[in-house]
Amino acid sequence: DTGVSQDPRHKITKRGQNVTFRCDPISEHNRLYWYRQTLGQGPEFLTYFQNEAQLEKSRLLSDRFSAERPKGSFSTLEIQRTEQGDSAMYLCASNRYTEAFFGQGTRLTVV
Amino acid sequence: AQSVTQPDIHITVSEGASLELRCNYSYGATPYLFWYVQSPGQGLQLLLKYFSGDTLVQGIKGFEAEFKRSQSSFNLRKPSVHWSDAAEYFCAVGAAAGNKLTFGGGTRVLVKP
Protein backbone atom coordinates (compact mmCIF):
# COMPACT_ATOMS: atom_id res chain seq x y z
CA ASP A 1 0.00 0.00 0.00
CA THR A 2 1.82 3.08 -1.25
CA GLY A 3 -0.90 5.57 -0.46
CA VAL A 4 -2.63 8.04 -2.75
CA SER A 5 -0.20 9.64 -5.16
CA GLN A 6 -0.70 12.97 -6.91
CA ASP A 7 1.34 14.49 -9.69
CA PRO A 8 2.63 17.12 -10.02
CA ARG A 9 3.01 18.44 -6.47
CA HIS A 10 3.27 22.01 -7.70
CA LYS A 11 2.20 23.70 -10.91
CA ILE A 12 2.65 27.31 -11.94
CA THR A 13 0.82 28.33 -15.07
CA LYS A 14 -0.10 31.48 -16.92
CA ARG A 15 -3.69 32.61 -16.99
CA GLY A 16 -5.50 31.10 -19.94
CA GLN A 17 -3.41 27.95 -20.15
CA ASN A 18 -4.76 24.45 -19.64
CA VAL A 19 -3.46 22.22 -16.86
CA THR A 20 -3.96 18.56 -16.03
CA PHE A 21 -3.40 16.82 -12.71
CA ARG A 22 -3.14 13.11 -12.06
CA CYS A 23 -4.20 11.05 -9.07
CA ASP A 24 -3.29 7.42 -8.46
CA PRO A 25 -5.51 5.99 -5.72
CA ILE A 26 -4.72 3.15 -3.40
CA SER A 27 -5.10 -0.03 -5.41
CA GLU A 28 -8.50 -1.71 -5.09
CA HIS A 29 -10.10 1.49 -3.82
CA ASN A 30 -13.17 1.84 -5.98
CA ARG A 31 -14.11 5.36 -4.85
CA LEU A 32 -12.11 8.43 -5.81
CA TYR A 33 -12.77 12.04 -4.86
CA TRP A 34 -11.38 15.41 -5.89
CA TYR A 35 -11.44 18.34 -3.49
CA ARG A 36 -10.20 21.92 -3.78
CA GLN A 37 -8.68 23.79 -0.88
CA THR A 38 -8.00 27.51 -0.97
CA LEU A 39 -5.71 29.25 1.50
CA GLY A 40 -7.09 29.29 5.00
CA GLN A 41 -10.13 27.18 4.13
CA GLY A 42 -11.18 23.59 4.47
CA PRO A 43 -11.31 21.32 1.43
CA GLU A 44 -14.42 21.58 -0.75
CA PHE A 45 -15.83 18.65 -2.66
CA LEU A 46 -15.52 18.83 -6.45
CA THR A 47 -16.39 15.43 -7.88
CA TYR A 48 -16.63 11.71 -7.13
CA PHE A 49 -16.05 8.51 -9.06
CA GLN A 50 -17.11 4.99 -8.27
CA ASN A 51 -14.91 2.85 -10.45
CA GLU A 52 -14.96 4.60 -13.84
CA ALA A 53 -18.34 6.28 -13.39
CA GLN A 54 -18.46 9.92 -12.37
CA LEU A 55 -21.43 9.91 -10.02
CA GLU A 56 -21.50 13.40 -8.62
CA LYS A 57 -20.21 16.86 -9.52
CA SER A 58 -20.27 19.93 -7.32
CA ARG A 59 -21.59 23.28 -8.51
CA LEU A 60 -17.99 24.44 -7.97
CA LEU A 61 -16.99 22.40 -10.99
CA SER A 62 -17.51 24.87 -13.80
CA ASP A 63 -17.54 23.94 -17.48
CA ARG A 64 -13.81 24.61 -17.60
CA PHE A 65 -13.19 21.66 -15.30
CA SER A 66 -13.33 18.06 -16.42
CA ALA A 67 -12.38 14.87 -14.66
CA GLU A 68 -11.96 11.34 -15.88
CA ARG A 69 -11.16 7.98 -14.43
CA PRO A 70 -10.58 5.61 -17.32
CA LYS A 71 -10.75 1.92 -16.42
CA GLY A 72 -11.47 2.82 -12.82
CA SER A 73 -7.83 3.25 -11.92
CA PHE A 74 -6.04 6.62 -11.95
CA SER A 75 -7.92 9.86 -12.44
CA THR A 76 -7.14 13.14 -14.16
CA LEU A 77 -8.51 16.58 -13.45
CA GLU A 78 -8.18 19.11 -16.26
CA ILE A 79 -8.74 22.83 -15.98
CA GLN A 80 -9.09 24.71 -19.25
CA ARG A 81 -8.42 28.43 -19.70
CA THR A 82 -7.16 28.81 -16.14
CA GLU A 83 -8.09 31.89 -14.13
CA GLN A 84 -6.39 33.39 -11.10
CA GLY A 85 -9.29 32.20 -8.98
CA ASP A 86 -8.32 28.62 -9.79
CA SER A 87 -5.20 28.98 -7.65
CA ALA A 88 -5.62 26.42 -4.89
CA MET A 89 -4.52 23.06 -3.59
CA TYR A 90 -6.26 20.20 -5.42
CA LEU A 91 -6.60 17.12 -3.24
CA CYS A 92 -7.43 13.61 -4.30
CA ALA A 93 -8.78 10.97 -1.93
CA SER A 94 -9.74 7.35 -2.30
CA ASN A 95 -11.56 4.80 -0.21
CA ARG A 96 -13.16 1.40 -0.41
CA TYR A 97 -15.36 1.21 2.66
CA THR A 98 -15.07 3.81 5.38
CA GLU A 99 -12.51 6.55 5.76
CA ALA A 100 -10.93 8.42 2.89
CA PHE A 101 -7.16 8.48 2.38
CA PHE A 102 -5.82 11.70 0.96
CA GLY A 103 -2.91 12.40 -1.31
CA GLN A 104 -0.48 15.24 -0.67
CA GLY A 105 -2.20 17.43 -3.20
CA THR A 106 -1.24 19.49 -6.23
CA ARG A 107 -0.73 23.18 -5.52
CA LEU A 108 -1.75 25.26 -8.53
CA THR A 109 -0.65 28.87 -8.91
CA VAL A 110 -2.09 30.85 -11.80
CA VAL A 111 -0.08 33.98 -12.64
CA ALA B 1 -27.50 20.27 3.45
CA GLN B 2 -24.75 19.38 5.85
CA SER B 3 -22.34 21.93 7.30
CA VAL B 4 -19.49 22.06 9.79
CA THR B 5 -18.39 24.99 11.92
CA GLN B 6 -15.08 25.26 13.68
CA PRO B 7 -15.43 28.42 15.78
CA ASP B 8 -11.73 28.87 16.57
CA ILE B 9 -9.53 29.88 13.66
CA HIS B 10 -6.32 29.90 15.71
CA ILE B 11 -5.40 28.38 19.04
CA THR B 12 -2.07 28.80 20.81
CA VAL B 13 -1.19 26.30 23.51
CA SER B 14 1.91 25.68 25.57
CA GLU B 15 3.73 22.40 25.15
CA GLY B 16 2.46 19.95 27.75
CA ALA B 17 -0.84 21.73 28.19
CA SER B 18 -4.19 20.25 27.22
CA LEU B 19 -5.91 21.05 23.93
CA GLU B 20 -9.55 21.13 22.93
CA LEU B 21 -10.76 21.97 19.43
CA ARG B 22 -14.43 22.67 18.89
CA CYS B 23 -16.56 21.34 16.06
CA ASN B 24 -20.28 21.84 15.51
CA TYR B 25 -22.11 20.15 12.68
CA SER B 26 -25.47 20.45 11.02
CA TYR B 27 -26.95 17.33 9.52
CA GLY B 28 -30.45 15.93 9.50
CA ALA B 29 -29.65 12.29 10.03
CA THR B 30 -27.01 10.30 11.89
CA PRO B 31 -23.72 11.90 10.99
CA TYR B 32 -20.45 10.21 10.19
CA LEU B 33 -17.83 12.44 11.80
CA PHE B 34 -14.11 12.74 11.24
CA TRP B 35 -11.12 14.72 12.42
CA TYR B 36 -8.18 15.20 10.06
CA VAL B 37 -4.82 16.89 10.61
CA GLN B 38 -2.85 18.71 7.91
CA SER B 39 0.78 19.76 8.20
CA PRO B 40 1.97 22.65 5.99
CA GLY B 41 1.92 21.78 2.30
CA GLN B 42 0.71 18.26 3.00
CA GLY B 43 -2.45 16.25 2.51
CA LEU B 44 -4.82 15.28 5.28
CA GLN B 45 -4.25 12.49 7.76
CA LEU B 46 -7.16 10.89 9.58
CA LEU B 47 -6.96 11.22 13.36
CA LEU B 48 -10.21 9.51 14.31
CA LYS B 49 -13.76 8.85 13.19
CA TYR B 50 -17.19 8.30 14.73
CA PHE B 51 -19.88 6.22 13.07
CA SER B 52 -21.89 4.81 15.96
CA GLY B 53 -21.60 3.25 19.41
CA ASP B 54 -19.44 4.66 22.18
CA THR B 55 -19.55 8.43 21.94
CA LEU B 56 -15.96 8.81 23.13
CA VAL B 57 -13.59 7.70 20.39
CA GLN B 58 -9.86 7.26 20.55
CA GLY B 59 -7.59 8.11 17.69
CA ILE B 60 -3.97 8.21 16.75
CA LYS B 61 -1.30 10.42 18.33
CA GLY B 62 -3.11 10.45 21.67
CA PHE B 63 -6.19 12.32 20.43
CA GLU B 64 -9.76 11.60 21.43
CA ALA B 65 -13.11 13.11 20.51
CA GLU B 66 -16.55 13.07 22.06
CA PHE B 67 -19.78 13.02 20.08
CA LYS B 68 -22.64 14.91 21.73
CA ARG B 69 -25.82 14.59 19.72
CA SER B 70 -27.74 17.05 21.91
CA GLN B 71 -25.17 19.76 21.20
CA SER B 72 -24.40 18.72 17.60
CA SER B 73 -20.76 18.72 18.58
CA PHE B 74 -17.71 16.54 18.03
CA ASN B 75 -14.88 18.17 19.96
CA LEU B 76 -11.30 16.97 19.73
CA ARG B 77 -9.07 16.76 22.78
CA LYS B 78 -5.53 15.89 23.73
CA PRO B 79 -4.37 15.83 27.37
CA SER B 80 -0.79 16.93 26.74
CA VAL B 81 0.31 18.66 23.55
CA HIS B 82 3.68 18.04 21.89
CA TRP B 83 5.47 20.52 19.64
CA SER B 84 4.83 18.15 16.71
CA ASP B 85 1.07 18.70 17.14
CA ALA B 86 1.38 22.15 15.59
CA ALA B 87 -0.72 21.86 12.43
CA GLU B 88 -4.16 22.62 11.05
CA TYR B 89 -7.06 20.48 12.18
CA PHE B 90 -10.22 19.87 10.20
CA CYS B 91 -13.51 18.45 11.34
CA ALA B 92 -15.65 16.82 8.65
CA VAL B 93 -19.06 15.22 8.29
CA GLY B 94 -20.26 12.63 5.81
CA ALA B 95 -23.71 11.30 4.99
CA ALA B 96 -22.47 7.74 5.26
CA ALA B 97 -19.26 5.83 5.69
CA GLY B 98 -17.19 6.34 2.58
CA ASN B 99 -19.23 9.22 1.20
CA LYS B 100 -18.02 12.67 0.25
CA LEU B 101 -17.07 14.89 3.16
CA THR B 102 -18.05 18.40 4.15
CA PHE B 103 -15.23 20.09 6.01
CA GLY B 104 -15.11 22.91 8.50
CA GLY B 105 -12.84 25.87 7.96
CA GLY B 106 -10.10 24.43 10.14
CA THR B 107 -8.33 25.44 13.35
CA ARG B 108 -4.64 26.25 13.23
CA VAL B 109 -2.82 25.13 16.35
CA LEU B 110 0.41 26.79 17.43
CA VAL B 111 2.48 25.20 20.18
CA LYS B 112 4.63 27.39 22.40
CA PRO B 113 7.76 25.89 23.96
Above pLDDT 70, what percent of chain B?
99
Residue A58 has pLDDT above 80, yes or no: yes
CB contact under 8 A, B49 and A40: no
Tell whether the model's pLDDT for residue B58 goes beyond 70.
yes
The per-residue pLDDT for B14 is 97
Q: Give the DSSP per-residue string, chain B.
A: --EEE---SEEEEETTS-EEE--EEE-SS--EEEEEEE-TT--EEEEEEE-SS-SEEE-GGG-EEEEEGGGTEEEEEESS--GGG-EEEEEEEESSTTS-EEE---EEEEEE-
Task: State whether residue A101 sits within 8 Å of chain B by CB.
Answer: yes
Q: Is A25 touching B (CB cutoff 8 A)?
A: no
User: Model confidence over A71-104: pLDDT tens digits?
Assistant: 889 999 999 999 999 999 999 999 877 788 999 9
| Interface membership of A103 toward B (CB under 8 Å) | yes
Whole-number pLDDT of residue A1: 53
Q: Do B44 and A99 touch (CB under 8 A)?
A: no
- For residue A41, list chain B residues with Cβ-Cβ distance below 8 A: 105-106
Task: Assign A57 to helix, strand or coil.
Answer: strand
Confidence of residue B41 (pLDDT cuts 50, 70, 90): confident
pLDDT at B33 over 60: yes
Q: Do B36 and A41 touch (CB under 8 A)?
A: no
